[in-house]
Amino acid sequence: MREVSPVKDLVVVGQVSRLLDKHYGRQMARIWDLGINLALRITDLLNLKFEDLITERGERYIVTREKKTGKTAKIKLNSKAADIVDAIRAEFPHHVYIFQSYRSPRVKNKPPAPLDRGNVRKAFAAIGDIVDVHLGTHSMRKTRGYHMYQQIGRIEPVQKMLRHSSPGVTLRYIGIEQSDVDRTFDELVL
């Protein structure tokens, strides 16, 4: 399986959201938009419950235990993430999960469950074909990390946000390649 990519062009980040909304519905677009803003792995994102929201000193956070690592992630909601969560809560006040499965008639007789990650993967891959980027469920984390690194120019905060063990892992994960490093030699002439 080919490795998925971050979306390096911010215009394309918005296109992905709009195309997901158009072809797969608002819920899929919200997964992309919230995923970009929280940088969680897809399993952790889809398993978020409204009860995972907390408020401390006037700031809103999501607190969750990562399934892969067992580490606790406490992530501050920026204004866009808070707006997405609030809109979902207003639209589906009785849902347990932020991204709860609700389309299947079978769901009515079963306990609440999050949306299936396979459906998300397929939708992202199809939209990736349209925008010519190899999209997958990790593209949200990678995109957030890539743009954070481009904005601040330091890998350590990105590493901490992604909860990676080393800067080298983070650089590879967010798609910083030798050509990116080489370009700095052309752009920074002292």
DSSP 31-83: HHHHHHHH---HHHHHT-BGGGEEEETTEEEEEEE-TTT--EEEEE--HHHHH
Q: Could you tell me which CATH number the domain at 10-178 has? A: 1.10.443.10
| pLDDT at site 45 | 97
In this structure, which amino acid lies at residue 160?
Answer: K
Phi and psi torsions of 72, nearest 5°: -85, 130
Query: pTM of the entire structure?
Result: 0.85
Q: Nearest to residue 43, comparing CAs of 108, 107, 120?
A: 120
pLDDT in single tens digits along all 190 residues of the chain: 568 888 999 999 999 999 999 999 999 999 999 999 999 999 999 999 999 999 999 999 999 998 988 888 899 999 999 999 999 999 999 999 999 987 655 656 778 889 999 999 999 999 999 999 999 999 999 999 999 988 888 888 888 888 888 888 888 878 876 556 556 666 666 6
Strand order in the sheet with 59-65: 53-56, 59-65, 72-76
pLDDT tens figures, 76-126? 999 999 999 999 999 999 999 999 987 655 656 778 889 999 999 999 999
In this structure, the dihedral spanned by the alpha carbons of residues 34, 117, 43 and 37, taken in order and rounded to 10 degrees, is -10
| pLDDT at site 161 | 85
Contact 88, 20 (CB under 8 A): no
Distance CA 122, CA 140 (A): 14
